[in-house]
Amino acid sequence: MNHTPTLPNRGMTRREFMVAAGSLAVVGAWASLPRLTRAAAPVVLPPLPYAENALEPVISATTVSFHYGKHHRGYVDTLNKLIAGTELNDLPLERIIAATAGKPEQATIFNNAAQVWNHTFYWRSLRPNGGGTPPAALKQKLEQSFGSVEACLQEFAKAALAQFGSGWTWLVQDGDRLKVVRTANADLPTPDTLKPLLTVDVWEHAYYLDYQNRRADYVNAVLEKLINWDFAAENLR
């Protein structure tokens, strides 16, 4: 079946075609990223799902203020400057990531777009009074894949500590199985095979004000007290 969009007789500009074509205007599996933000031009900073002090005492309001208000906002502002006046300007965030992934000449755009997406996903991966027992369907998947929820948490913490330098640790779904993966810098799991369920940010700006160089303390506290199993369960296929 031919899915190529029909162009009006008057002809379309490149920007109009990319918007109309949707996923056909981008390449690769990145087009299947779950939509976290509204299709907006410019890209907007999504609101936090909770107050800045809601994650205390595990993550302080000061850290959230800098992390969200400076770092996350900085990626949004930089991205909008980079795509202004280009064919990417009218695309939703996930399409921008898809259109620039794997292209060295557009690495700066990809890095900022991916960091906007990663941070939005991270904030949703946390919640006040988190941790505890996952919802039943997710708990069953975790037990099938890791042996137990505790074994999953141990593997997650180990991966987070093993990440050299900046990056992210993810719980992902790979077919019928769940696994833990890590990515460096702005990268995220390739969504054709690995569906992100939740993530923990292990860039130093995520924890240094509260924990200095004690990444293990930060990761273990987040997994025990803040991880949002409900969000992970919602992301299951």
Q: Does pLDDT of 8 surpass 90?
A: no
Q: How confident is the model at residue 5 (pLDDT cuts 50, 70, 90)?
A: very low
Structure tokens at 119: 């941070």
Domain contains 176:
yes
Token pair 């379309």: residue = 12
Which pLDDT score, from 0 to 100, does residue 20 have?
34
Domain contains 140:
yes
Q: Does pLDDT of 122 surpass 80?
A: yes
Contact between residue 201 and residue 162 where contact means Cβ atoms under 8 Å apart? no
Domain contains 126:
no
Number of domains in the chain: 1
Q: Does pLDDT of 113 surpass 60?
A: yes
Domain contains 39:
no
The per-residue b/e assignment along 75-88, b for 16 or more CB within 10 angstroms, e otherwise, is bbebbbebbeeebb
Domain contains 45:
no
Which pLDDT score, from 0 to 100, does residue 38 have?
54
> What's the DSSP call for residue 9?
T
Q: Per-residue pLDDT tens for 50-72?
A: 999 999 999 999 999 999 999 99
Which pLDDT score, from 0 to 100, does residue 39 have?
52
Q: Which domain holds residue 162?
A: 136-234
Q: Per-residue pLDDT tens for 10-34?
A: 343 444 333 333 333 334 455 556 6
Task: Point out the least confidently predicted range of 28-32, 88-92, 110-114, 162-166.
Answer: 28-32
| Alpha carbon distance 179, 161 (integer Å) | 16
Which pLDDT score, from 0 to 100, does residue 190 have?
81
Q: Is 60 helix (H, G, I), strand (E, B) or coil?
A: coil
Structure tokens at 216: 């293990």
The CATH code of the domain that includes 149 is 3.55.40.20
Domain contains 230:
yes
User: Torsion angle, CA of 14/17/18/23, rounded to 10 degrees?
Assistant: -150
| Stated pTM of the model | 0.84
Domain contains 121:
no
Which pLDDT score, from 0 to 100, does residue 167 have?
97
Domain contains 67:
no
